[in-house]
Amino acid sequence: MTSTQFTKQISLLTGIAFVVGGVIGMGAFVLIPLICAKAYGAAWLSITIAIVVNLLSIFPLIQLSAAYPVAGGGYEYGKAFFNPSTGIVFSAWALIGGAAAVALVAYGLVESFQAVLNLPVSNHLLALFLILLFWGIFLAGVKTLAAMQIAMVAQMFAAILLYAIPTLATHFNQVEFSLPTHADSFFMAIVFSFNISLGFQIVMELGEEMENPKRNIPLSLIIGGSLVWLIYILITAAYIGAVGVENLASKPEMVSTASNILPAWATAFVRLGIISAGVTSFAGAGVAIPREIVALARDKILPQKFAEISKNGTPKAAVNLFFMLVCLLLLIGDIFQRSGIMNFFFEKDSIEFYGFLTILGIMSLGAGVSLASLKLKSKMPKLLENAYIKFEPWLLNSLVVLSIATSLFLIILVSTKWLVPLFFFIVTALALAAYRFKQKRN
């Protein structure tokens, strides 16, 4: 038995778990060494700037979701406050950013364990194989995924504490929190810090499934964001202490920096935390982003099959299509690697391709949704009046300006690698062209 309607199965605790797991993910273990290599002792500042600006810039989203919670927010907000073509573009951005984020996590997981496994296979293909292994999990149902997300976030958090506390206790005298000394590298640290701060937008996609969404969506974002900041600062301090500021440029793998402190079982538990972090990121995107596909199918832009919700609350066809997009992106990454395109643009840091594409998709979507929030009062005044949170017009306008300015800043930075915006533009243009072709045929 299937339907096209979601049921309320996501509580406040689950919402916080999706936010924390979706934002932290692999960033806690994979990208913090890269951030520290760019910013050195100022890594704390780049992370703080990224999280604070990211949280402030999604306040327009908080206003929208508190008044008008929906599934597939990119498409629904674009359509409702602008027009269907804009909804298509917003949805394409969400799908690009979401698929790239999952590819980033999978590639990061593989890269973390490749030094141990040393398999003679491309990391892109290994990441694709990893996606195939986990694919079935996302067909298990929302309740199962919610329980798994809470358990994985708890294990990840325990692993982070197990790494950070003994490391800080041993190397606290080497911890250094300083101000930036080199502007160029610090700006790049901010870019990567934004990469590990993305994911708050996940709850935009879950409005129809959240219990008391007008209350729980804002609270999930605020509580989850605070926890994310505390966790990142703790990890950064421990990593800098273990490595020493003078050695950060070599980017040693995080877990290995504590191998001489932790017993073997604790090291294994922390490595398990890396897997948990990857799974939580998979879960966040795997639950949220296919809702864009559902929204498109409800409006008959995609076949009706993709709007069907199974008895366990999972849009199975939409989930399958989303993970097919992730696999396609990893195959493209492998082709770029083999042809030399990836090395030309990113040298040895292929992970930057997926990271930059994630930023471009999510930040473009964030800017568009921020503009949509300005039309809430004129388009849906009754919904705004009954919203759990209502910002004063001057405050909302200021937050929208901040959101757009932040998005443009990051878009410009990642566009220095022009392969990324070119790829992004081609995919967006193809999605819009397909929609308009379908309109003409109808």
Does position 441 have pLDDT exceeding 90, yes or no?
no
* Region label for 161, one of left (φ > 0), alpha (ψ between -120 and 50) or beta (otherwise): alpha
Task: Determine what percent of the chain is predicted with pLDDT higher than 70.
Answer: 92
Average pLDDT over the chain reads 83
| Mean pLDDT to the nearest integer, 190-217 | 74
d(CA 167, CA 328): 40
d(CA 354, CA 423): 11
| Mean pLDDT to the nearest integer, 135-164 | 80
Between residues 369 and 200, the one the model is more confident about: 369
| Mean pLDDT to the nearest integer, 359-369 | 88
Give the DSSP letter string of 48-104.
Answer: HHHHHHHHHHTHHHHHHHHHS--BSHHHHHHHHHT-HHHHHHHHHHHHHHHHHHHHH
- For position 182, what pLDDT does the model report? 81
d(CA 239, CA 303): 49
- Domain architecture of the chain: domains with CATH: 12-441 (1.20.1740.10)
- For position 428, what pLDDT does the model report? 92
Confidence of residue 153 (pLDDT cuts 50, 70, 90): confident
Tokens describing residue 3: 């339907």
Does position 1 have pLDDT exceeding 50, yes or no?
no
Confidence of residue 110 (pLDDT cuts 50, 70, 90): confident
Distance from the Cα of residue 78 to its chain's centroid? 20
Does position 142 have pLDDT exceeding 80, yes or no?
no
pLDDT per position as a tens digit, 282-331 = 766 777 788 899 999 999 899 999 988 887 777 889 989 999 999 999 99
| Mean pLDDT to the nearest integer, 27-49 | 85
- Using CA atoms of 388, 6, 277, 412 in order, give the dihedral in degrees to the nearest 10: -70
pTM: 0.79
- For position 348, what pLDDT does the model report? 63
307 with 298: CB under 8 angstroms? yes
State whether residue 206 is helix, strand or coil.
strand
Does position 140 have pLDDT exceeding 70, yes or no?
no
Segment among 92-101, 115-124, 429-438 with least mean pLDDT: 115-124
Does position 234 have pLDDT exceeding 50, yes or no?
yes
Give kind and range of the element (H or E) at residue 147. Answer: helix 142-171
Count other Cβ atoms within 10 Å, centred on residue 350. Answer: 21
- Using CA atoms of 65, 66, 68, 73 in order, give the dihedral in degrees to the nearest 10: 10
Max mean pLDDT among 82-91, 206-215, 280-289 falls in: 82-91
Confidence of residue 349 (pLDDT cuts 50, 70, 90): low
Between residues 10 and 190, the one the model is more confident about: 190
Max mean pLDDT among 187-196, 215-224, 355-364 falls in: 355-364
